[in-house]
Structure 1
Amino acid sequence: MVPLADLFNHKTGAEDVHFTSTSSHSESDDDSDNSDTVDLDADSIGNKEPSSELDCSSVTGDDPSVLEMIMVKDVKAGVEVFNTYGLLGNAALLHRYGFTEPDNSFGIVNIDLELVQEWSSSLFSSRFSRARLSLWRRLEYRGCDSQSAEYFEISSNGEPQMELLILLYIILLPEDTYRKLDLAVSAKNSHKGSIDTILSEKWNITWDKISEMRADLLLTESVCNALLWLADKRESLYGSSSIKDDIEALEKCCTKERKLYHSLILRASERRILEKLRTYAAVGARSHSSLKSIQREPKRKRSKRS
């Protein structure tokens, strides 16, 4: 069945077939309570480790596990049928399978923690930066891990990972607020909610509303400027050429030049995400200014009815 699955090309989020693993624990195929059904992508099928139960079935003739191929949509005759390797961005597709998709909407851009530390060191002392990072970790926040590197993800719509926003916010806290938060963390056994308490006091809102508004509250002008710095620094890794240059080169590139073609696809898609990150930061700064203006406005007194 695995060679059959490999016959189909991949299309992200638009597959025509699903491969389903069905394990039956009874003699009756109609007993739905005793069967487990799991949808598999092509990557799962190819990497599935053989089990002792499966090895035994080849000897005894029993078939406790069945792999089914199911059409999930109508496909016209003569049209290519696609499978999926999962909802993967171009970086993952290129790394694992050696190709990219021009219109992939699941792309992400990674911002390394080292890059954040470089930004912090450009403004503050190393001791200051280490203390703020330590507080962030004591609040039980972490980035994503890949081997020995820690990083943050920027989604395809340009929205940064919440943990990154919180780290930037903590680094930029005024000293007295930082001391207060540091003391609160040291005094509590549970660190969860400490940053929410700081935000709720600053904005005079109840804690239960924080979860919905937290991203907006974190997007101070300084945090947004930090995001812009990170976007520019991350894009500098692509060299002196602009995204316009990359798009023009992609249009002229032949698909037979596989390495260059897929490299340009990845560069262009990631740089578009960085553009969206800049837009996110600019809009966030304006929204934060509006929140501050609303906060400063005096409450209107209702006129009493005579």
Structure 2
Amino acid sequence: MAAARRMRGFKRWMKREEVECSDALHISLSVESGGAPSISVKASCDLMEGDVVATIPKRSCLTVRTSAASRIIEEAQLGGYLGLSVALMYERSLGPQSKWFQYLQILPSREPIPLLWSLAEIDSLLCGTEIHKIVKEDKALVYQDWKECIKPLLGSASLKLNPDFFSVDEYLAAKSLIASRSFQIDEYHGYGMVPLADLFNHKTAAEDVHFTSVSYYSESDIDSDNQKRDSDGENNGDDEPMVQDFHSEMGGFRSELEFESSSTSGNDVMVMQMIICKDVNSGSEVFNTYGSLSNAALLHRYGFTEPENPFDILNMDLEIVLQWSSSVFSCRHSRRRLSLWRKLGYSGCDSQNSQYFEISFHGEPQAELLVLLNIILLPEEVYHELELALLAVGNSKQITSRLVLEKYNFLIVKAAKLSKELLLTRNVCQALLSLADAREQFYGSNSLQDDIKSFDERCQATEHKLYHSLRLRICERRILKKLRSYAASGLK
């Protein structure tokens, strides 16, 4: 009953705000046992590619510009996601007086992303996974933002903010909603909450809808812009809407919708249209896609994982490689070989202050890792030959050393063009097996089979944190298993 009442309120709100939702869409809202709304969008009839199923005015979006807190945010000089968090918390504090009250009523109070888990839960459930360290760092940074930027607002008597809605817990809750539901609207509004567009669930590589921004110019706007657009050949004088297509491209947020407009006043009329991009059968759920993301990224940003996610990857930190190298050779040997690898123009992937190598869903290591292992394992005379040749010419492309060109020319070719068969020597394969074992130790004493047994026997989908953290562990450890098979095939 509560869910039906909330949905009726949201539909009245959409009508008032001129948000057009096709009768072909059925928004299903249920309230779970904990009181959190669960939302899905289904097709109430067959949908065809190209059908426009929703139109959303830009002014109906909750942004730092449209919020009743816009003056507070501007005076406090809070931009980006921080400013949007304040806008969201402020609108919630207004209750029924908020312009977005009925919209906010159908949203959960928070999303179950790991950022909101306790430190004990993070350590026990995410141990060894790609996001264990990242989530702990995120928590510390978010608390610092709250302490430095939001807490001081509560001390202002003139603002009269209700502290119950601006606590660090409420800030975390707002951050979780923004992380999973916000869209980049345009330069003027920045990021914002886009009602209706944020209700579609995700399915990897299987989107049913995409979005376009349509900008309608007034007659005076067209008159003032005609000369430039005519000279550019972009307008024939007809009063036609300008349309720009875009698909979901994931950064740290659900869908960064890049609009063509760069308005500085926000007065131009712009709407977002939701268009079916492939046929959908009646009764089927209509999915958006948040991007081609691994389970680690999905859990980190949105609070869930997917089985057999083809975009899953595992990262092998450079530090693990250097620790293995130092245990086999020496720290000095490892530093020198790493330096040569870099001089030859190679690098791994960067994340803040660390470097890592990706292991694909199929267990194949990044070519740059194979090159580094080859260089670490080079015979000493070849290493010196390469080092001297580089000192002499200063560029790996100019190396003409006979020894290098005869046996190790593949090391000075771009990684993208390298043959992994050449790089996959017996010693490199043995090194990969050692690296897999070292990475496996991060997960603790439980084996992969133990995790699978726990997932199958004890874990229920209702146990959200355990369910998705175990699936992440299992997916990552299966990639390590595939890496071992990849290395073993090279040994044969």
Instruction: Classify the secondary structure of the residue corresponding to 2:262.
Output: helix
Residues 1:39 and 1:194: Cα distance change in structure 2 (over 3 Å): farther
Q: Which residue of 2 aligns with 1:20?
A: 212
Q: Say if 2:436 and 2:483, in contact at 8 Å, map to a contact too.
A: yes
Q: 2:416 aligned with 1:224, yes or no?
A: no
Cα distance change, pair 120–69 in 1 and its aligned pair in 2 (3 A): same
Paired position in structure 1 for 2:446: 241
- Measure the CA separation in 2 of the matches of 1:211 and 1:197: 24
Distance, in Å, in 2 between the alignment partners of 1:117 and 1:45 is 36
* Aligned match of 1:281: 487
Corresponding residue of 2:103: none
**RMSD over aligned Cα, in angstroms?**
3.2
Instruction: Give yes or no for contact 1:23–1:37 (8 Å, CA) kept in 2.
Output: no
Alignment match of 2:263 (pick from 39, 47, 54): 54
Q: 1:89 to 1:46 in 2, by over 3 A?
A: closer
State whether residues 211 and 245 of structure 2, in contact with CA within 8 Å, keep that contact through their aligned partners in structure 1: no
Separation in 2 of the partners of 1:48 and 1:196? 52
Q: CA deviation at 1:47?
A: 4.9
SS state of the match for residue 69, structure 1? strand
Q: 1:242 to 1:138 in 2, by over 3 A?
A: same
- Displacement of 1:46 in angstroms is 5.2
Query: Is this contact kept in 1: 2:210–2:246, CA < 8 A?
Result: no
**DSSP 3-state at the match of 1:3:** coil
Per-residue Cα deviation, 1:30-84 (whole angstroms, up to 9, x for no partner)? 79xx86533234766755589983342x32x454xx5332212211111111101
1:129 aligns with 2:321: no
Normalised by the length of structure 1, the TM-score is: 0.80
Note the 1:22-101 alignment, pairs <5 A: 26=235, 28=238, 36-41=244-249, 47=256, 53-56=262-265, 58-59=266-267, 61-63=268-270, 67-101=272-306
The percentage of aligned residue pairs carrying the same residue is 55
Q: 1:155 touches 1:273 (CA, 8 Å); kept in 2?
A: yes
Change beyond 3 A, Cα 1:118–1:139? same
Q: Shift of residue 165 of structure 1?
A: 0.6
State the partner residue of 1:291.
none
Give runs of aligned pairs for residues 202-221 of structure 1, distance below 5 A.
202=407, 214-221=419-426
Q: Of residues 263, 267, 270 in structure 1, which corresponds to 2:469?
A: 263
- Deviation at 1:17? 1.2
1:232 CA displacement: 1.0
Amino acid at match of 1:189: G
Please state whether the residue corresponding to 1:105 is helix, strand or coil.
Answer: coil
Paired AA for residue 211 in structure 2: F
The residue type equivalent to 1:263 in the other structure is S
Question: Can you list the C-alpha shifts for 1:265-285, whole angstroms capped at 9, x where unaligned?
Answer: 101111111111111111123
Match in the other structure for 2:373:
168
Distance 1:185 1:104, change over 3 A: same
Aligned length: 279
Q: Following TM superposition, by how much is the alpha carbon of 1:166 offset from its aligned partner in structure 2, in angstroms?
A: 0.6
Provide the rounded CA distance (Å) in 2 between the counterparts of 1:114 and 1:203: 25
* Distance apart, 1:7 and its partner CA: 0.7
Residues 100 and 41 of structure 1: CA distance in aligned 2, closer, same or farther (over 3 Å)? same
Indicate if the aligned counterparts of 1:6 and 1:42 stay in contact, CA closer than 8 A.
Answer: no
Shift of 1:126: 1.1
Is the 2:348–2:357 contact (alpha carbons within 8 Å) kept by the matching residues of 1?
yes
Equivalence for 1:111: 316
The whole-number CA distance in structure 2 between the counterparts of 1:105 and 1:113 is: 24
Q: What TM-score comes out, normalization by structure 2 length?
A: 0.51
- Deviation of the 1:220 alpha carbon: 0.9
Aligned to 2:455: 250
Match of residue 22 from structure 2: none
Unaligned segments of structure 2, at least 5 residues: 1-55, 57-193, 217-233
Deviation at 1:125, TM superposition (A): 1.4
The answer as to whether partners of 1:165 and 1:223 remain within 8 angstroms in 2 is: yes
Query: Does the CA-based 8 Å contact 2:244-2:259 persist in structure 1?
Result: no
Rate the CA distance shift 1:236–1:194 in 2: closer, same or farther, 3 A.
farther
Give the CA deviation at 1:196.
12
3-state SS of 2:419 partner: helix
Give the letter for the 2:450 counterpart.
Answer: D
SS of 2:383's equivalent?
helix
Secondary structure at the aligned position of 1:241 is classed as coil
